[in-house]
Every structure is written in structure tokens, then in C-alpha cells.
Structure 1
Amino acid sequence: MTVTVDQPWAKLLREGDEVTAALPLADHCLDVGAAMAMVIEAWRAPLEAGAGRALSAQDVARLCALAALHDVGKANRGFQARIDPAKPPVGHTAPVAALLNHSVLKRSAAAEILHALMRDWGARQHVAAVMAHHGKPLAAFHQRAMVDTGSWTALVDEWWEKAGDAPAARVVPVIEAVRARWPLAWEAGAALPDAPRFVALFAGLVTLADWIGSDARRLPVGAPHGDAREPLRVEQVRAAAAARGFLPLDTPACDFEQAFGFPPHGFQLEAAGDEFGAVALIEAETGSGKTEAALWRWLELRRRGQVDGLFFALPTRSAAVQLHARVDAMLKRVWGTDAPEAVLAVPGYLRAGDAVGQALPDYAVRWDEPGHNERERAPDARWAAERSLNFLAARVAVGTIDQALLGILPVKHALFRAGVLSRSLLVVDEVHASDSYMAGLLERLLVHHIAVGGHALLLSATLGAAARAGLLGGAVPPLAETEAQPYPALSGSDAALRAAAGAAGAAKQVAVEVAGLIDDPQAIAGRAIEAARAGASVLVVRNSVAGAVAVAQAVAARAPELAFAVESVPTLHHGRFARDDRQRLDEAVEQAFGKSRRARGRVLIGTQTLEQSLDLDADFLVTDLAPIDVLLQRIGRLHRHRREDRGAFAQARVLVLRPAARDLSVLLGKGGGGRHGLGSVYPNLVQLEATLRVLERSPEIVIPRDNRRLVERALHPDALAAIVAGDPAWHNHAAERAGGELASAEAARRIALDLSQPFRTLTFADVEEAVVTRLGARDLLIDLPDPIASPFGGAVTRVTIPAHMARGIGARDEPRVTGPATFEIGARRYGYDQWGVHALG
């Protein structure tokens, strides 16, 4: 039955063409204002840090009232006409600018009330922030909107009185309802804080409040309405905050061993100290216990009331998937049955704690918990895990670094991401200096995160002095001085570098061989097979997927019994597999190369997905040449755990692959194709030359004793300057790379949001595609209309196409399955087999 709608509505329920329920606009505004009150309490500390002062009760009332007024524009004629689905869509945010700016409309009662509010509260920037609640600052509220009027003048007609219909008059009762709910907001008092970072943070949190206040599972479109709705509103908004982890949660008393099941090393406790400042840094070799040190620091910061949440950011999806279970286990040991669930913040996955979700139509998710029946949970308890946009709002999440960096880029909902992250300790694992663009983005993110009261912890096995100075501030010491600096080490934005007690494991001697085999997959396969037949667990890490596939196919053809396999199918490890198959790959890798691996020969081949954060233990490493910090990451996968069964490989060994011609200068100025990442994936050939020279002089290295020396001699500015001196070709390349790296860092700074600027100057330029693609977040997630066969058994219904392989695919192109393991989208054709997704034709 169609209901009668006799007042401005905000939301409708339909059955076919009939409207079965309508939520009055005033009720929806009050719902969101009430949600804002809960959000402010959860994010009070960041808000006050951004404001530079404590928030008064009147400040809070005004912020709630402003959030409540987010949808007053829905009173416009065009929006209200949408009760008829055949009417054209008209928005509700930019029309508010027309009401406020037009020379006649601004004299309406509604506009005069809003102008007085902005004047008396000092809220012009805040109103612009509220109207950005759909994810981007609006041109209609930019400070140039009275000059560049095209963003709002076409909307003036939506407010004119016609045939007795006065849309602007409909705004007044909504404002009065908000005023009645928060009368303190309208009393005389000091202006709202207007520091730009505070306003930007407020903008992101208004989005969160809007989503809470719009959740029809708690706040229905149907009755009750009016005064009868207030008890429901109070109850359900608080219940929503509790379910989503926004209410205070005490940290139980426990010691390190209770939290992790083993006693601590000295540095793991020391790293939790308060003296490091808002940004702390742990430099220690792979496997030293940095992860536990990070988690313990989070627990101690929580006990001191300095943070609430945790976002653990890793470089790869595989690393995030693996670490998620460890973090969730720690939460259970500390909190017991009442533990918050760790959200796996990896797009394409639905996982919270032990529970795995299944996507259903209309964005619904069914959650299954292994081993027992689903416990009684609030419908929105796993809200943060159900959409990638919500990941950072989780109390605890483990995901990829791009999720955090999207909070500082001019892309939709960046302000929401940065806003909800502000209550958390941001842990960034595997920090290194090989990508100036990503380093520039991380620096900008840290500046904002710290400015609004956040804390960060950086973890690295291989950070050079120049990179450390960029992240923590300060000058780069001379080469001789940096070589003498302690390693492993602790430092921070407020603390100088010092030795990390107990972080150095037993000395690991590694035999280093350099060979000109990088272009010969058969020769590489031969060396790997030879070592595996001698009983070694062999890890082959290549700089490109194509290079990895070539070696994997050679090993599978020549020695299938030694090839890494899933369900007896030879394969390899990289990022171009379907999610379910990636999970099977990760599990098989852990079984074959993890801590409890069986002592027998096996060859595992992959790309950078194997070098970062995965807990692998190999005897022999074959790796393409890469910058020294990357190589040390890879070498960290050798002899990671104590074993007595390594036989002929009791000493760890690494074979570093270079071009057959030793002279890397022949690569200068040439294109990147076919060079196995030398000059493309790793564009700084001076760093590669420095790395090669260091390795050629070091037939044996000792980890961690030599880490600092190796990193500084291959990455320090003085070391690189020595290579280019007197050689015009190297000098020109170095100048080009210096300009390129400066340009990359500058591009990051230029593209990244500068939230120290007034809100009404912010614009989200048309750079979204480029910046998100560079983060790897623009990969296409394809739901196939029919399943294709998994090479490991079962079916694949969803695949990811890397952005660079998806060029030419249009937004409306639909996938079509063309064979048992092939599909096409638009003009692009793809295959999927034991070697992953690959382009055809």
C-alpha cells in the first residue's frame, strides 16, 4: 500500500512502484546528529589534537547540529520529486550552495538562519566539510564558488516558490528540530575550532555518522517517527557504536609472555617506551620479533590512553593474510572470549577473526564461523570487514599499505579513511627506500596522522640513513658515521638511534655467489634443481612474473618431482591468482617452506610476494639482482629457523643473478623491457651497480653484523656519488635518476592531500585513476558469469586483473567465459592456469 507523504522525506522504501514507507527528513537528520555524538566520543582525542584545544560541551553540540544538517538540501524541489522514480535525479548537497549564495534566495528565512549560524559559530569551513559527506569536497562550497558559479547556479530553480510550493520554507522546520535537540549549540559562546586538520577530520567523521544514522537495520525508514523515535534513536545509536567497536574497551592486565606465549627479548619491551615520540622505528633483521614488539607497543599505548585501534599495514596481500591469524590469536590471549576480532583488510576477502564471510546480493554478507554455530551477534558487528572502504574503521585490522595511503590521496572518501585511522596506531611493515613515490606518500600520511594525535611505528630490516632521515627528520650523517651506527636499532621522532637489546639473533653466515645467468631460465632452473637434489629447500625470487614463470616452467619440465606444487600440480607464487587459489598457495608454501617444513629438496619460485613478511625458511636462495635493501629482505628467508637437518647447506647460500655482460652501464638510457626489472622495477641503476660491487667484494656476509655496512655502502648518497664520479654515462644517469626520484617524491607531495590548508581550498582533481593505479588499488576485480576451472581443483568465479593488463577495458564491458579456463572482457582475452592469470593474443 502506498503511504501518504505529507512532509519532506529523506529515505523511502518501495515495493515495485509503490512507496511503502517514508522517513521524514527531520527524523533522519536527528538520527545522524545522534550518531555524530557517539562518533565524537570515540574520536575525541584526535579531534582535540587537530583542534589544538579541548572540545567544550558547546563545541560538541554544534558539531552534532552541523552533522544533523548534512541533508537539509533534500528539501529542494527536484529531490522531493524523486518520490516518482521516473523523475530525473537531483542531488541535495550542491543545492545548499545555491540557497546560500543566490542574491535572492540568501534572504530566505532558511538561508538567513544558516548564514547566522556560520557567522556566530565560525562555521563556514565546517559547513563545507559537512556537505562533503559523500566523499569529496564540493566545488559549490569552494572559496572561489562566488567567482566560478557554474557549480551551483543551475540548481537555483530547485528552490524557487512555484504554485504555492516553497522548498526553502521546508528547510526551516528541519533546522528548528535540530535546534530543539541541541539548544546549547545556539547559545552565545566561543567559535568552533577552525584549524584545517580539525575541519578535515570532522568532514571524514560526518561521513561515518551518516552511515551509522542511515543503517535501516537499526534506524528503520518506517515508524516510529517524530517524538516517538527518540528512545529508539538513543538506544540504537549506542548499540551500533558498541557493535562496531566505537565504545571504550579496557586493555586487560597481562605480561608479554601471556600475550604471545613466549618470553620477550629486551628490545620488544623497550620499544614500547614513551620516549620515542609519535613515530617510532625498529630496525632489525627478518625473524627477530619485530611483529611482537609492534603488537606489544600497541597494547602499552592503549594502557596509557594514547591510542585505541590498530592498523597493521603490510606490503603484500599474502603477508597480510598470514599475519592476520597471528594478530587475532594475540587478541584472544589478551581479551579472552570478549576479544575484538581482527579484520583482514584485503579487498576480495571477507574475514573477521575466525569467521569467513560469503558475499550475497545487495551487498549483504553471510558469516560462517568454523567449528561451531554462529554466535548471536549484532547485524553490524562485522561492518568494517564487509567493504574495503570500511577497513580502517575497525578497532583492529591487518591489511595492505595501500588502504592507509588512500587516506591521503585525492580520491573519494579519503577524508573518511584518514579520519577513522586517526584513533589507531599505524604500523608499517617492511619499510624501505626503493620507491620514492611511495615514500613520499608515506611521509605525507605520517605528517597528517601525527598532527591529529595518531601514533605510528615503522618496521624495517634494511633502512638506510637517508631513508630514516626522511621519515623521522634530521640530516643524513656522513658514510663513515652511518656505517658505525648500531644495528639492530631503535629510534623515533623524539629519540636518537640506539642499539636494540636482544634483537640480534645468532650470527648467520651466508655464502654469496654472483653469476651472469639472469637471462637464462634453463640455467637458473638447473642450479635450483641441482641444489634441491642435494637436499636443499630452494627459493627462487625473480623481479618479474614473466621471469618467474619461465623458471617455474623449466623446473616443472625437467624435475616435476622437485617443483613446488599444489594438489600435485607444479606452480609458483605471485599475485595473479584467484583469491581462493592464493589461499591454497599460501598454505602450501607454509607447509613446504615454513617453520615446520619437512627436510627434503623442493624448489619454490615466485616474485616479490615471497620476499616480504612471509615466514619462509630456505637453504639456498636464487635471486635476481635488486637494490641491497631488497636483497637483504630476500636473504632473510635463508636459515630463518634453527634446524639440524640442513646437510650440505649448513651454511646459507645465495646466488645473485646479473646480466651475462657484467657492465651495467650498457643498460643506461635503454627501455625497461626484457631486463628482468633492472632499470624498470628498480629504476636506479646506480644503486644496482653499487649493490653489485658490494656483493662482488663480499663472498661471505654475516647477518646481522654486516647489515648496516652493506646498506650504507650501496645506498648512502656518498657511496652513490663515488660511483658516478669521473664517468659521464653514470653521471648523466645519476642526474636523471636524481631528477626522477625528486620528481617522484615531488609528484607524491603534489598529488597527496595537504590537509593543513583551509577546507574550502581543497579540490579532488581528476587524478584518481593514475594515483590509485600506481598503488595497485585499481586492479580489476572480475566476477565471472560462469565458473572456470581452477588448476588445483574446484571452480574459480572471481579473478583479479592487474591494472597494467586491464588497459582498454571499458567501465561497461562485461566478462564472458569462452572456455574451461579462458575469458574475455571487451577486446581483451585472458587465460587462467597453474601459472596464474595471463593475457592471450
Structure 2
Amino acid sequence: MEDSAAVAGLLWDRWLPANVRALISGALPGGERDGRRLAVWLAGVHDVGKATPAFACQVDQLADVMRAQGLEMRTRRQFGPDRRLAPHGLAGQVLLAQWLEKRHGWAGRQSAQFAVVVGGHHGVMPDHGQLKGLDDRPHLLRTPGASRALWRRVQEELLDACADEFGVRDRLAEWRAVKLPQPVQVLLSALVIVADWIASNPDLFPYFPQAAHRSGAERVAAAWEGLRLPGPWRAEEPPADVGELLGTRFDLPPGAVVRPVQEAAVRLARRMSAPGLMVIEAPMGEGKTEAALAVAEVFAARSGAGGVFFALPTMATGNAMFPRLLDWLKQLPAADGTRLSALLAHSKAALNDDYADLMRKGAQRIAAVEVDEEERPWRPADEKRIASAELVAHAWLRGRKKAMLSSFVAGTVDQLLFAGLKSRHLALRHLAVAGKVVVIDEAHAYDTYMSAYLDRVLSWLGAYRVPVVVLSATLPAGRRRQLAEAYAGAESAVGVEEFEAVAQADAYPLLTAVPPGGTPVVECPPASARGTTVHLERLDDDFGVLTDRLAAELEGGGCVLVVRNTVNRVLETARVLRERFGDDAVTVAHSRFIDLDRAANDADLLARFGPPGKSQERPRGPHVVVASQVAEQSLDVDFDLLVSDLCPVDLLLQRMGRLHRHQRGEGQAERPRRLRTARCLVTGDDWTGQVPVPVRGSVAVYGAYGLLRSAAVLLEHLEGPRRPVRLPQDISLLVQRAYADGGAAPAGWAEALDAAWRRHEEHRKDQAERAGAFRLDAVGRPGRAVIGWVAAGVGDADDMRVGRAQVRDSRESLEVVVVQRRPDGSLATVDWIAPDKAGLELSQDRPPAPRAARVAAACGLRLPTQFSYAEVMDRAIAELEELYVPAWQVKDSHWLAGQLILALDADCQTRLAGFQLRYSPSDGLEVTRV
């Protein structure tokens, strides 16, 4: 009890971000002192439920000692299955509530909001059924008969001692009137869990310490020194000049001009009454990422947030963001000796080289150490210097449950959405986000299912007063309003009119700010001088038409991007174009490459088609990149001509953002003469009828309604005088028209649009209902205990295949590790990757060498949708499990343990579940039915 309480005190003083301490303290009459006392006391009493016969009976020789002192109890066998109805967390909650009610006059509702913190310290708050079950079996808490009074005396003696030791006895009368907000109950629960885990670590708190002479304070100091847990970021108010701020943080080249959106966002962040939600809508390439981090620095300095979580749509975008986050961190001012923890948050993070380097830096043996204060260099607490903080991936802050507690995190949005999923140890996820500024990128990329989770998470973030920055280039106005209302919460005093004004704002770029409890503010900064006029044209969906057109366009050279909506169309198109232009003139990019190849593909695209000055290998002759949606976002690539399948208009605009993205000479003079005017050829549908008919694959991906609405708003740009699309001026106009309810239908389209809309609405309704099955409830009223908070949940949540399926409405997909089988039957890493990684032996008799195993694990591949249907998936898993290597399942082979292994032959082929699989470094995985 002393260890847990002492650790909680240290966590409060040295680790918990200031905004979390302020939220807890703000609910109590004594402010910060009360907040610390409450946290320490609850950590101290959290295991009082072990002082019960149901728990104490577990070890016979210890139980006999207690019986000798008059504490009678049944044996474990005599209790039978009933004993499982009194886990010590639940028992502790009941004992603490009874003590508060009978000894201090609290009402049941008053005691429940404090006692539930004890009940939930193993990750799940008990529900009312569990409390009723234990109430019906009092013998589990105290043995009936003469021993009953003694059991009660022992329990009350422990609770009395804790009340005195931790300084709360004289506060209980005043706390009785407190209504603890539910967010505060959750944060206290999480803090107790962390304190319990640290205090229960025998390396830090040995059961039989060698230094038995140590006092309790010395024991705790030795443990804390051995843990070396990095403290929170303590952000300073950044320079007032926005140009200076961005220049020092992002190493801008000389003469770089701050974009109006960036300057306006930082200034608005400073003017807000308190840090809250900011939505930044601006064109592609306007520096939204830099603006978000600058705003995050302002928000953190003003709110006391202790870190930043940057949430991105995919692992690939998370990987790309992580080094940018680290570079920004290195430019932040830091107190001398500051250590900050950083994390890449997705299931394959350990395979990322930047994160692997941090993990090596953060490697340490966690064990209690001797503390010699005289050897420590003394420095005044307020002395600071401008220096880079030491960045580490701290050894203790690893694993599914603790990793997000790191101060700075870049990762997939799934990690944020998990905060809205009823799951075990959800309180820890809430503590992780409550102490940070949260940045959500590509907010338009989430469907109804994911948005249901995101909105619920935003409502909790608003209740925690967490600053949030949302980024999007193409956000529908209705979605903007939903985000603002979700953050403001159901209890917001702001009227409907204010949120209607948010939805009606039609300027672009656009900033929307929602301070906690305040009125939304909309600001319209001017666009930068950058702009592109894009001429649209229909192109028949015919390979012959496409190749002839590209041959004419590329007569003088040039770089073309062709974006298809399905991987199969990518591969078919690439095959035809290679026949016309040659293998070296066509590059393929899609999601069906092994991880190593996909990362190499992204690097190659940036090297050849990136911005001037950074790309050194731009092709001089004609070149065509055929890509799926991987080219839509987070790649700073620049092409002379765009060909795109019809898709929802916001995504088409994203694709246009890769067209003439950078200035290449005055008037684009460095581009081939025919390609100096930006043009987008729209294909992938049949325009011969009265209503366009998109290709089947596009309908399967996006639905007919979104495609038809896109075609409808693009009509004036595709026929007649064909008015060009002006970027950025037309971005918001097109998006709002496409997503507006009841938008006008072109002549003759009404019936088709109406039928497509009904199917669309049915799908959205189905998504919303299914998302509600395991979604966290809304924030309850203050004083209502979070009893049953995650009842009927999903158990543990993580960023593996099954976990992602809980917060994304997608078919469960199979992920495999790709290796090659040699002619002699042995296994090795694939032979086409970098020479120092290719062909490494993977022994089947013993765990493979760590380096070979890590390389193999980096060759992960997600199988396509053919393998997502139940019958095919079951058959595929059964066939893959035939290659089961027991030597790879041990702890020393964690890279490959539990993985499904797909072994290709020397020709990079195999069969699986009735399909022929062929892999090539140039085209990725191709699947054909046998």
C-alpha cells in the first residue's frame, strides 16, 4: 500500500502532464493539494479487497497464519466457483464504499464515484450485476460467525490507517459534496493502474530487498531512479513572430514565405479563450502539417498538455510522419537534461528504422538502483537552456497497453479510435490522449463507421479539455459541423445557430475554432499565391484509347500519373502500357506489395517525382506511373499530366493535388511544351447513355451514389465550354455541392440518383448501427459513477488485424509474412530485396538469427479481398498453417512467432485456397483463380 501510494505521488509530481493534474484538481475544493491527496490515497487503498477470505484463502500456509489470529475462512476448494465472484478489485470497491458510508456518512451515489476507481484497477470497472452478485454473498467478504467482526475490524483498520497516512481523513467531509466528473474518475483509475504496475514490479520493488535497512522513502527513490520514466513535455510559449516560429522549427530555406493559412492558424490559436478544437481546411501542399505542429506548440504551452499524438489514416502515412515528428522535436527548446518519450504507434512499428533506432537508445535494465544525491550535479530548477531534448522509446512504455502513454506519438488513427471502443484497460488509452494535443490528419478519409467512433472520441476529448487540431483539404460542411458539435458535447451551452454558422461557412481556406464551452469562431484566411488551373476532359474507358492518347501527349517527354480505383485495374493498365512504352517507362504503385517493397516504392517516387531541388532523378523521357489510391495522399509528388478513374470529388481533388504541384520554371517552362497546361483526363465510366455508368470495381469501392454526385458536379467542367477547375478556389465549392443534401440532379439523372441515394442511406444507417455495438457511451453527468463503463465490450483492443476490424468497416483481411523456399526445401528471406537482406537463411530447426527474422517480418503482405470471405479465409488459414515451424514460436523468435507464413517458390509463385499467387518486385502480388 505504501509503495503504490508513493509511486502515485511521484507520478503526480514528475510524470503527469499539467493539464491532467488541473482537470482532476479542478473537481475538488482544495485544488491541486486535494488532487494529489486523492490520487495517492486511492492508489494506497486499491488492493484493500485482498483483505477478504475469498482472496486470503489462496495460499494455505499464509491462510493458516491468519486463522491462528482468529480470521477464519473456508479453504479455496470449499469456496468453490463462488470465489470468482469476488475478485479483489470488486471486493475493494465494495469495502471502500461501505467504509465511506458507515464510518463517514456518505450516500451510496457519493461513495460509488470514488470507490469505482478501486474496482477498475485491473482494467474493467465492475458493473451493477457484479456488485449485486457480491452483495448477495457476504461470506466472500467476511466469514460469518464470530470471525465476521474481526474481518471487518481488519478491513476498517487498513482503511483508517490509509486515511491518516495519506492525509485525507480531514478532507472526507468536504469531499462528500463533490460530484466527480466521469473523465476525472477515468483518469484517476488509469493513474492507479500505472502506479500499481510500477509498484508491483519486483525488479523495482524486490520482495526480499538486499538493502533491508532502507527506509520506505529510500526504497521508492531507488525504484524511481531505476525506472527513469521520462517526464512530460513542458512547452514554452513559442516566438510571437510566426515566421520565426516556423523557420526555427522546420528549417525552412532562406526566403521561404509563411503561408497565410499557417500564420492565421497560429494567431487564432493564441486568440482563443482557451485551447480547444481547431479545424484547418486548406489546399494540398499548403503546409497544414507545419501549421498543426505550430498550433500544437501554442496549445500545449497554454493548456499544460504534455505531448502530441499525430493520427494518420494508414501505417504508410504514419511511417512517413514519424521522422518529421522527430525532426520537429529536435528543434523544440528544452530544459537541460530533458528526456522525452516518442512512439510510432502501429503493429509494425518495430520494423521502422527510425523507431528501431529510438528503441536501441531507450534500452535499459529496469531495476532499483542506489541513489547517491551527492553525486548528482545540482542545477537550479528554473535554469533553462535552448537545447534538443533526449528522445527515447522508453523500455517500460512498450506493449499494447502502455505504449500510448509516451509523450509524442505518430501512428494510425485506429489508436485514437480505440479510445471510443469498449475494451479492457480503456482508461489507460484515455489517460494517454488526455495529456496530449491531438492532431487528426486527412479527416475527410473516414467513412460513417469510423466517423461514429471519431465523434464519440471527440466528445470525450472535449470533456477532458484536450486541444485538438483537425486537418483536411476537402471536408464537407456537414462533416465540419459534426466534428465541432461532437467536441462541444451534448451539454454545450452554445446554441444551434452558432453550429449552423459553422456548416454554412463557404470560404476556402477556412479555419474553425471551438474553445471549450465557448462559441465557435470561423476565420477565412486568404489563399497563398500558389494556384493551378486544371482542364478536365472525358476519356473513354478503353485501353486502346488510353495508350494512343498517352503516346500523343508524351511525344516530347513528360511524366504521367494514372490513378485506378482497384489494384486489378492498375495491373491490367500497366500491362497494356508496357507493351506500348516498354517496361522501363512504366512504374506500378499500390498496396499489394510487401512492406519493404512498398517503402522502397514510396522512396523511389519521391526521388524521381518529388519537388524541385529534392528529386534528383526525374525521368527525361516519357514515363507513366500507374497507381491505386496510395498516390492520393501524403506523397509530395508532381506530375505533368493526370489520368484518373472517376471517384468521389474530394478524392479526385486530392489526386489533382499531384498535378503541377510545384513550379517548374517560369510559366512551367521546364515541362514538355504539350504538358505546360495542367490537365486531368477522367475515365473509368461509360458516358454513352443518359446517365454515366462507372466501372464495376469503382462502384464496389465507393458506391454508386458518391460517384454519380461527383460526375454531376463535374459536368460543367467536362462538357460544353468546359470551364477549368481552379485550385484552390473551386475545392470547397465542388466538395460542398457534391455532399449537400438534396443537391440538384442533372436532367434525366433523378431516378438513378434517387435509387443510388437510397442504397447509400441504407448502408450509412447499417454502418452507424454496427458501430454502436461496442462504442463507448457518451460522457455521463458529473457524479455518476462509471460503473459498467466498458460492460459488454470486446476484451482487449490492439492494432493487429482483428483490432483494426473493430474500428474500421472493412472485411477482415489476412496478413502473411512472405519467404522463399529453396529447391532443397529450406527457407530464406526473399531474394529480390537489398543484397544485404536477400536470401538470409531461416532455420526451421532453431530460432532464426535475429537479423534474418526481422528482415522476414518486414516482408509482410496483406492478401486481397478474395481471401476475406469466410470459406476462402478458413481454407487459406488451414493451408498456411501447414507451414508451422515450432522453433519460430518461442520467445527468442518474437519477430515470426504466431505469423502466417507464405512460402513462394524460386519463381515467386505458389497456390493458396484455389488461387494462383505470383509476386514480382515491379508489380507486387497478382492473384488469379485456378
Shared topology, TM-score over 0.5? yes
Distance 2:912 2:120 in 1: 35
1:419 paired residue number: 431
Contact 2:656–2:680 under 8 Å retained in 1: yes
1:649 paired residue number: 675
Cα pair distance change 1:90/1:731, threshold 3 Å: same
2:318 paired residue number: 320
1:801 paired residue number: 862
> Which of 647, 652, 658 is 1:626 aligned to?
647
Q: Which amino acid aligns with 2:644?
A: T
Q: Which amino acid aligns with 1:460?
A: S
2:609 paired residue number: 593
Per-residue deviation, residues 680-739 of structure 1 (Å, max 9, x unmatched) = 4345344344345354244521211222322223222242x5459983443233234234
> Which of 79, 88, 91 is 1:96 aligned to?
88
How many residue pairs align between the two structures?
780
Are positions 1:346 and 2:346 aligned together? yes
- Could you say what secondary structure the match of 1:706 adopts? helix
Cα pair distance change 1:816/1:678, threshold 3 Å: closer
Please show how residues 640-679 of structure 1 align to structure 2 within 5 Å.
640-644=661-665, 645-647=670-672, 648-663=674-689, 675-679=696-700
Distance 2:389 2:498 in 1: 58
Contact 1:694–1:713 under 8 Å retained in 2: no
Distance 2:192 2:686 in 1: 59
Per-residue deviation, residues 479-515 of structure 1 (Å, max 9, x unmatched) = 99999932122222244433213x4342211121222
Are positions 1:716 and 2:740 aligned together? yes
Q: Which amino acid aligns with 2:280?
A: I
Distance 1:403 1:465 in 2: 26
State, as a whole percentage, how many aligned pairs show the same letter.
Answer: 24
Cα pair distance change 1:134/1:95, threshold 3 Å: closer
Distance 2:12 2:501 in 1: 55
Are positions 1:266 and 2:260 aligned together? yes
- Could you say what secondary structure the match of 1:712 adopts? helix
Per-residue deviation, residues 734-759 of structure 1 (Å, max 9, x unmatched) = 23423432443455456421241341
Distance 2:503 2:116 in 1: 48
Distance 1:727 1:801 in 2: 40
Q: Which amino acid aligns with 1:760?
A: I
Are positions 1:453 and 2:469 aligned together? no
> Which of 329, 332, 337 is 2:330 aligned to?
332
1:772 paired residue number: 805
- Could you say what secondary structure the match of 2:697 adopts? coil
1:568 paired residue number: none
Contact 1:33–1:68 under 8 Å retained in 2: no
Per-residue deviation, residues 145-175 of structure 1 (Å, max 9, x unmatched) = 355x3x8989976975999999999867865
Distance 2:339 2:630 in 1: 30
Contact 1:252–1:334 under 8 Å retained in 2: no
Q: Which moved more, 1:686-695 or 1:31-40?
A: 31-40
1:372 paired residue number: none
Please show how residues 545-694 of structure 1 align to structure 2 within 5 Å.
545-556=567-578, 558-563=580-585, 571-574=588-591, 576-595=592-611, 596-597=614-615, 598-600=617-619, 601-644=622-665, 645-647=670-672, 648-663=674-689, 675-682=696-703, 684-685=705-706, 686-694=708-716
Per-residue deviation, residues 510-531 of structure 1 (Å, max 9, x unmatched) = 12122231xx567656655665
Distance 1:264 1:708 in 2: 22
Distance 1:741 1:259 in 2: 42
Contact 1:690–1:715 under 8 Å retained in 2: no
Q: Which amino acid aligns with 2:790?
A: T
Shift of 1:543: 2.0
Contact 1:508–1:702 under 8 Å retained in 2: yes
Contact 1:620–1:649 under 8 Å retained in 2: yes
Shift of 1:636: 0.7
Shift of 1:555: 3.9
1:68 paired residue number: 44
Q: Which moved more, 1:460-469 or 1:299-308?
A: 299-308
Normalising by structure 2, we get a TM-score of 0.72
Contact 1:59–1:185 under 8 Å retained in 2: no
Per-residue deviation, residues 801-824 of structure 1 (Å, max 9, x unmatched) = 369545545799553454445789
Per-residue deviation, residues 188-235 of structure 1 (Å, max 9, x unmatched) = 332254222222233333333334444555444552688836334543
2:761 paired residue number: 738
Q: Larger Cα Rg: Structure 1 or Structure 2?
A: 2
Contact 2:311–2:413 under 8 Å retained in 1: yes
Are positions 1:257 and 2:247 aligned together? yes
Are positions 1:190 and 2:174 aligned together? yes
Please show how residues 426-575 of structure 1 align to structure 2 within 5 Å.
426-432=438-444, 435-473=447-485, 485-493=506-514, 494-501=519-526, 503-517=527-541, 520=542, 524=546, 531=553, 534-556=556-578, 558-563=580-585, 571-574=588-591
- Could you say what secondary structure the match of 1:189 adopts? helix
Contact 2:49–2:89 under 8 Å retained in 1: no
Q: CA RMSD in A?
A: 4.8
Per-residue deviation, residues 573-604 of structure 1 (Å, max 9, x unmatched) = 32x44433332222112112211333423322
Distance 1:168 1:411 in 2: 34
Contact 2:312–2:413 under 8 Å retained in 1: yes
1:20 paired residue number: none
Distance 1:665 1:480 in 2: 35
Distance 1:118 1:708 in 2: 61
- Could you say what secondary structure the match of 1:183 adopts? coil
Cα pair distance change 1:399/1:178, threshold 3 Å: same
Please show how residues 25-36 of structure 1 align to structure 2 within 5 Å.
27=3, 31=7, 34-35=10-11
Distance 1:492 1:310 in 2: 19
Distance 1:95 1:479 in 2: 50
1:21 paired residue number: none
- Could you say what secondary structure the match of 2:409 adopts? strand
Distance 2:228 2:332 in 1: 19
Q: Which moved more, 1:156-165 or 1:55-64?
A: 156-165
Q: Which moved more, 1:678-687 or 1:288-297?
A: 678-687
Distance 1:412 1:734 in 2: 38
2:492 paired residue number: none
1:381 paired residue number: 394
Unaligned runs of 5+ in 1: 1-24, 367-374, 566-570, 669-673
1:128 paired residue number: 116
Q: Which amino acid aligns with 2:862?
A: I
Distance 2:634 2:211 in 1: 53
- Could you say what secondary structure the match of 2:285 adopts? coil
Normalising by structure 1, we get a TM-score of 0.78
Contact 1:538–1:603 under 8 Å retained in 2: yes
- Could you say what secondary structure the match of 2:534 adopts? strand
Distance 2:470 2:909 in 1: 42
Cα pair distance change 1:475/1:56, threshold 3 Å: closer
Shift of 1:364: 8.2
- Could you say what secondary structure the match of 2:696 adopts? coil
Shift of 1:632: 0.6
Distance 1:321 1:622 in 2: 27
Q: Which moved more, 1:282-291 or 1:257-266?
A: 257-266
Of Structure 1 and Structure 2, the greater strand share is in 1
Shift of 1:628: 0.8
1:303 paired residue number: 301
Distance 1:245 1:555 in 2: 56
Unaligned runs of 5+ in 2: 64-75, 366-387, 486-494, 820-826, 839-854, 885-899
- Could you say what secondary structure the match of 2:309 adopts? strand
Q: Which amino acid aligns with 2:638?
A: D
Contact 2:456–2:778 under 8 Å retained in 1: no
- Could you say what secondary structure the match of 1:492 adopts? strand
Contact 2:561–2:624 under 8 Å retained in 1: yes
